[in-house]
Chain A
Amino acid sequence: MTGREQIDGVLREFAPQVLATLVRRYGQFDACEDAVQEALLAATVQWPGQGVPKQPRAWLLTVATRALIDEWRADSARRRRETAAALDAPGYAPAADLADDHPGDDRDDTLALLFLCCHPALSPPSQLALTLRAVGGLTTAQIAAAFLVPEATIARRIVRAKQRIRDAGARFELPAQPQRTERLGVVLHALYLIFNEGYTTSSGSALQRTDLTAEAIRLTRLLHRLLPGEAEVAGLLALMLLTDARRAGRTDPDGRIVPLAEQQRDKWDAAGIVEGQAILTRNLGSGPVGPYQLQAAIAALHDEAPTAEATDWPQILALYDVLTTIAPGPVVTLSRAVALAHVHGPRAGLAILGTLDTDQRMAHTHRLEAVRAHLLEQAGDTAAARDSYLQAARMTASLPEQRYLQLRAARLRSGGPPGGSG
């Protein structure tokens, strides 16, 4: 008998390699991707009982090839259509040497797969689903469980995504410069979204979920290994590690949110912090400083502080100043307001928040109101703080956040003057 985790590890390592080999041999990314998925499912059924084969990659390749050929034979009319498409599609020209497995090209193959799955023609949810399946080697069921949506939804999302890739005429190859830098930005954003999806929904759930944060970190680690010279890839990996390191402190045993300042720092993962710091230090200055490196540097300053009071806020504010110049946006302004409040007092932070009131991008998020509530509380304006907490509680779509905000409001009421309009 073989452990579930060991099998998952083998499958996830070889899935993108086997898929790339098939695409090189036969073209047709979408049919090949389905075939690999079938091979993964077959392995999930057979390997726990029979053990992992001696050559798992060859096993998967054989089963996937058989699935592909079976599919082509299943319907002769469809087969003719598919074969014609395979020969005609300019992006799917089969490699000249059909017999060669190209093991030396795994690096470029995996990169090309990532770029294809994060094609700009796809919506972010489609990019995430396809990346997790084709590059991450997850089954549709695992992805569905991770996103808490029905399996059929993910299956349809993947079918549509592959259709769009085909329609867009996307090629299975590494984009050339200058598009490559831009496309890498899309890949990094998709990986960051996978991470955030796992991170923000990880609180207080006893449900069995595939760990999206761990999968995002694994894929970003892989990308960092493939592109060691890209400072922003390193920056994103460091950001994920330094953020994920605080995970155990983010909620209490009942699943309630604990704000950063009140977290028990001995619950943070010291090894993750050390690794994130090392990656950040090694790569800072090796290329142009980008938003992921800056956010990682800010995360590192939080992680390094032995207590909330010891946080180096002036340095964090300086980093937000740089971030505001190279990647401005309402969320950066909001975070900078918090840093500013710590350095120059809550009223200074509140003044910056005022500039966001008319920003349409903030109209549908509770974050602005939640930050305002905290700063008003710090400034001693209890009644206004309570109103802001309640307003934020009405605006959020996150149940744990809503509970946290309602409690903050209730605490102010019991501490403040009695009565109130209710």
Chain B
Amino acid sequence: MKYMIMMFGGLGAATQNRSPEWIAGMHELLMKLDTELKESGECLASDALADPSQARTVRFVNGAPVPTDGPFAEVKESLAGYWILDVDEERALQIAAQVVGYTEFPMEVRRIMDHSAQP
């Protein structure tokens, strides 16, 4: 089974009032976890997205697609980064819990749809 763990833009805003030690600790946790998941073969892909303030949204305006500044969702709800994991649900939840335990900021765990026809 494949799962996607998502973190959201609100995390970046929440770190602004933390201490340098706390922020360094978070960076360390994320990098260490990322390395471990890649080395164990559980992580298929992972990336962080650039800040939502840099995002553009293509909207359908007056009958034509038009690029506009800013993200579609509110900044705190916009996707900031993700892991795609080849694990069962229990393990995916356990991984997300490791990060949330430190950041105290929610993460979403979603099953990725299967391409095969088997139930």
Contacts and interface: CB of A to CB of B under 8 A. Distances in A.
Contact of B19 (A394, A396, A414, A420): A414
Q: Which of A396, A406, A414 has the most CB of B within 10 A?
A: A406
Contact of A255 (B17, B19, B31, B51): B31
Interface stretch (B20-28, B85-93, B102-110): B20-28
Contact of A410 (B23, B35, B48, B53): B23
B17 A420 contact: yes
Interface in A139-196: none
15 contacts: A254-B31, A394-B54, A396-B50, A397-B54, A399-B48, A406-B15, A407-B20, A407-B24, A410-B18, A410-B20, A411-B20, A413-B16, A413-B17, A414-B20, A422-B13
Given A410-B19, A422-B16, A395 B27 contact: no
Interface string A411-422: 101100000101
| Interface size of B as a range | 20 to 34
Contacts of A413: 16-17
Instruction: Provide the main secondary structure of the chain B interface.
Output: helix
Interface in A369-422: 390, 393-397, 399, 403, 406-407, 409-411, 413-414, 420, 422
A411 B21 CA distance: 9
Given A390-B16, A394-B53, A413-B17, A407 B35 contact: no
Interface of B: 12-13, 15-20, 22-24, 27-28, 31, 35, 48, 50-51, 53-54
A206 interface: yes
B74 to A, nearest CB: 16
A393 B53 CA distance: 11
Given A397-B54, A420-B16, 16 more contacts: A204-B31, A206-B35, A254-B28, A254-B31, A256-B27, A394-B12, A395-B51, A396-B50, A406-B15, A407-B23, A407-B24, A409-B16, A410-B22, A410-B23, A422-B13, A422-B17
A254 B68 CA distance: 38
Nearest to B22: A410
B17 A406 contact: no
A399 B13 CA distance: 16
Ranked nearest first, the 6 interchain pairs of A and B with the lowest CB-CB distance are A394-B51, A410-B20, A397-B50, A411-B20, A422-B17, A394-B53
A414 B24 CA distance: 14
B111 to A, nearest CB: 25
Contacts of B18: 410
B25 to A, nearest CB: 11
Contacts of B24: 407
